[in-house]
Amino acid sequence: MSPLFLLFIFIMANPAYDQALTTGEVVIRKWWFNTNSTKNQMTLQFQQAVEKPASEVNVNSLLISMEQGTEPLGNTTNVTALRSINADKASAILASREGDATMGSPVIEANAFYEKLGFPEGTKFAIQVTENFEKNPYSKTQSPKVNPSTKEVVVATNPLTGTQMPVYRHTELVIADTCEHTFIAGEAQKAPNTAAVDAMSISQGINS
C-alpha cells in the first residue's frame, strides 16, 4: 500500500465519528440501499463502544502491558448491529441513500434518528451483545468470534455438551433500559486426549 494512499485514508477519516463513539452512545456508522430487497429498503449499520466484562483476558492484557512496557488494551469493544428501514423514510433523515460516517458523512446518533422516525423524545438505545455456541441460522457468512490479539477462534466449554466449542457473537439494537449482555469467557484450547487415541490405536492393532 503506497504512502500516498495511506495519506488519503488519513485525510478522509472522520475524527468526529471517533469522538462520538467515546460518548457511549449508539451512532450510525454506515448506510446503503439494499439491492437484494424488493421492498424499497435501506440497511443501517449502528455501532457502539460496549464495556468488556471483567475476565482473565483483561488481566492478562494488563500483565503483558506491564511486562512489555506497552499500553494495555482498552476496556471497551466496538460492536455493530444492522437494521432494515424503509428507504424513503431513512433517506429523508440521512439526506442520502448511501453514506459512511467514518469517512466524512454526517454523524447521527440512533436516539436522534429514531426520534425523527417517531419514537418518543429521550428514548435511549443500546446494542445488546449475546454470545453463545449457535451460528445465526439466517446468516451465510457469520464466523465464530476471533481473539483480536492472537487471531485465533475463541472457544469455551459448552455446559450442554461438556466439550469445547467455538463462540458466536450476536448483536441487536434494543431500548437501553432493556439491554442485558451475555458474554462467554474464552478458554485456552485443550490438547487432544492422546492417551485415549493411543489406547484406541492399540485396540485396533490387536483386533486387526
Residue 191 is predicted with a pLDDT of 73
Cell digits for 125? 438505545
Per-residue pLDDT tens digits for 14-72: 899 999 999 999 999 999 999 999 999 999 999 999 988 766 445 666 666 666 666 55
Tell whether the model's pLDDT for residue 7 goes beyond 50.
no
Among 75, 74, 94, 72, smallest CA distance to 83 is for 94
CB 107 within 8 A of CB 101: yes
Give percent of the chain with pLDDT exceeding 70.
Answer: 75
Longest distance between any two alpha carbons in the chain, whole Å = 76
State phi, psi for 22 to the nearest 5 degrees.
-70, -15
Residue 168, amino acid: Y
Residue 5 is predicted with a pLDDT of 43
Cβ count within 10 A of residue 167 = 21
CB 44 within 8 A of CB 31: yes
CB 93 within 8 A of CB 113: yes
Residue 196 is predicted with a pLDDT of 44
Residue 90: pLDDT band (50, 70, 90) is very high
Per-residue pLDDT tens digits for 68-84: 666 555 678 899 999 99
More reliable by pLDDT, 205 or 50: 50
Rounded Cα gap, residues 154 and 133, in angstroms: 11
Rounded Cα gap, residues 78 and 66, in angstroms: 24
Rounded Cα gap, residues 157 and 45, in angstroms: 31
Name the strand (E) or helix (H) holding 41. strand 41-51
Per-residue pLDDT tens digits for 101-146: 999 999 999 999 999 999 999 999 999 999 999 999 988 899 999 9
Residue 151 is predicted with a pLDDT of 86
Cell digits for 129? 451483545
User: Taking the model in full, what pTM does it have?
Assistant: 0.78
Domain extents for the chain? 3-189
Show Cβ contacts of residue 127 under 8 Å, excluding neighbours closer than 6 positions.
Answer: 26, 46, 47, 48, 50, 79, 80, 81, 171, 172, 173, 174, 179
